[in-house]
Structure 1
Amino acid sequence: MSNGIPLTKDFANGDVSFWYRQIGLPGPRPALPGPRDYDVAIVGGGYTGLWTAYYLKRAEPGLRIAILEREFAGFGASGRNGGWLSAEFAGSRKRYARAHGRQAMIDLQHAMFRSVDEVIDVARAEGIDADVHKGGLIHVATNPAQRRRLRAGVADLRRWGYGEDDIRLLERAEQRERVQVAGALEASYSPHCARIQPAKLAIGLAAAVVRLGVDLFEDTTVTEILPRRNGRAAAVTTRGVVTAEYVIRATEGFTASLSGQHRQWLPMNSSMIVTEPLPPDVWRHIGWQGSELLEDHAHAYVYAQRTADDRIAIGGRGVPYRYGSRTDRRGATQRRTVALLWRMLVKLFPATIDARVAHAWCGVLAVPRDWCSTVHLNHASGLGWAGGYVGSGVTTTNLAGRTLRDLVLRRETALTGLPWVGRQVRQWEPEPLRWAGVQLIYALFRAADRHENERGTTTSTYARLANLISGR
Structure 2
Amino acid sequence: MPTINGQVSHWFDQLPAYRPALPGDRDVDVCIVGAGYTGLWTAYYLKRADPSLRIAILEARFAGFGASGRNGGWLSGLVPGDRNRMAAQHGRDGVVAWQRALNDAVDEVIDVAAREGIDAGIVKGGTMQIARNAAQASRLAAEVEEEMRWKVDGITVLTKGEAAERIRFDGVVAAYHNPHCARIQPARLARRLADTVEKLGVDIYEQSPVTEISPGKASTSHGTVTAPIVLRATEGFTASLPGLRRRWLPMNSSMIATDPIPDDLWNTIGWSGRETVGDTAHGFFYAQRTVDNRIAIGGRSVPYRYASRTDKDGRVPERTITHLTKTLRAVLPQIRDVPIAHGWCGVLAVPRDWSAGIDLDKKSGLGWAGGYVGHGVTATNLAGRTLADLVLDATTPLTELPWVGHRSPTWEPEPLRWLGVRGMYLAYKLADWHEARGRDTTSPIAVIADKIAGRP
Common topology (TM > 0.5): yes
Question: C-alpha distance in 1, partners of 2:212/2:421?
Answer: 27
Which of 170, 177, 190 is matched with 1:182 structurally?
170
| Pairwise CA distance, 1:357 | 0.3
Tell me which amino acid in the other structure corresponds to 1:118.
Answer: E
Tell me which amino acid in the other structure corresponds to 2:22.
Answer: L
2:101 counterpart of 1:111: yes
Comparing 172-181 and 384-393, the one that deviates more: 172-181
RMSD: 0.9
* DSSP-derived class of the 1:268 partner: strand
| Pairwise CA distance, 1:283 | 1.5
Tell me which amino acid in the other structure corresponds to 1:225.
Answer: I
Which of 292, 317, 321 is matched with 1:334 structurally?
317
Match of 1:151 in 2: 141
* DSSP-derived class of the 2:229 partner: strand
1:33-432 aligned at under 5 Å gives the runs: 33-163=23-153, 165=154, 167-227=155-215, 233-432=216-415
Which of 7, 16, 19 is matched with 2:8 structurally?
16
Tell me which amino acid in the other structure corresponds to 2:3.
Answer: F
| Pairwise CA distance, 1:10 | 5.0
Tell me which amino acid in the other structure corresponds to 2:157.
Answer: L
Please list the CA deviations of residues 34-91 of structure 1 after superposition, one character each: whole Å capped at 9, or x if unmatched: 1111111000010000000000000000001000000001111100001110110121
* DSSP-derived class of the 2:196 partner: helix
Tell me which amino acid in the other structure corresponds to 2:272.
Answer: Q
Question: C-alpha distance in 1, partners of 2:98/2:294?
Answer: 34
* DSSP-derived class of the 2:296 partner: strand
| Pairwise CA distance, 1:324 | 0.3
Contact 2:182 2:276 in 1 (8 A): yes
* DSSP-derived class of the 1:20 partner: coil
| Pairwise CA distance, 1:215 | 0.7
Tell me which amino acid in the other structure corresponds to 2:337.
Answer: D
Unaligned 5+ residue runs, structure 1? 1-8, 228-232
Question: C-alpha distance in 1, partners of 2:434/2:408?
Answer: 33
* DSSP-derived class of the 1:199 partner: helix
Which of 426, 443, 446 is matched with 1:463 structurally?
446
2:17 counterpart of 1:27: yes
Please list the CA deviations of residues 197-216 of structure 1 after superposition, one character each: whole Å capped at 9, or x if unmatched: 01110110000000000010
Match of 1:4 in 2: none
Question: C-alpha distance in 2, partners of 1:241/1:216?
Answer: 14
Please list the CA deviations of residues 111-135 of structure 1 after superposition, one character each: whole Å capped at 9, or x if unmatched: 0111000001111111111111001
Question: C-alpha distance in 2, partners of 1:416/1:128?
Answer: 27
| Pairwise CA distance, 1:360 | 0.5
Match of 1:3 in 2: none
Match of 2:417 in 1: 434
Identity between Structure 1 and Structure 2 (%): 58
Tell me which amino acid in the other structure corresponds to 2:17.
Answer: G
Tell me which amino acid in the other structure corresponds to 1:381.
Answer: S
| Pairwise CA distance, 1:168 | 2.0
Question: C-alpha distance in 2, partners of 1:368/1:437?
Answer: 14
Please list the CA deviations of residues 235-290 of structure 1 after superposition, one character each: whole Å capped at 9, or x if unmatched: 11111111111100000000011011111000011100000011223212211111
* Runs of 4+ displaced beyond 3 Å: none
Question: C-alpha distance in 1, partners of 2:107/2:132?
Answer: 31
Comparing 102-111 and 275-284, the one that deviates more: 275-284
Question: C-alpha distance in 2, partners of 1:152/1:427?
Answer: 30
* DSSP-derived class of the 1:161 partner: coil
* DSSP-derived class of the 1:386 partner: strand
Tell me which amino acid in the other structure corresponds to 1:25.
Answer: L
Tell me which amino acid in the other structure corresponds to 1:207.
Answer: D
* DSSP-derived class of the 1:421 partner: coil
Question: C-alpha distance in 2, partners of 1:360/1:90?
Answer: 25
Q: How many residues align?
A: 455
Please list the CA deviations of residues 421-457 of structure 1 after superposition, one character each: whole Å capped at 9, or x if unmatched: 0000211000000000000000000001000011211
| Pairwise CA distance, 1:226 | 0.6
Tell me which amino acid in the other structure corresponds to 1:383.
Answer: L
Question: C-alpha distance in 2, partners of 1:426/1:16?
Answer: 31
Contact 2:160 2:172 in 1 (8 A): no
* DSSP-derived class of the 2:139 partner: helix
Tell me which amino acid in the other structure corresponds to 1:346.
Answer: R
| Pairwise CA distance, 1:148 | 0.6
Tell me which amino acid in the other structure corresponds to 2:447.
Answer: R
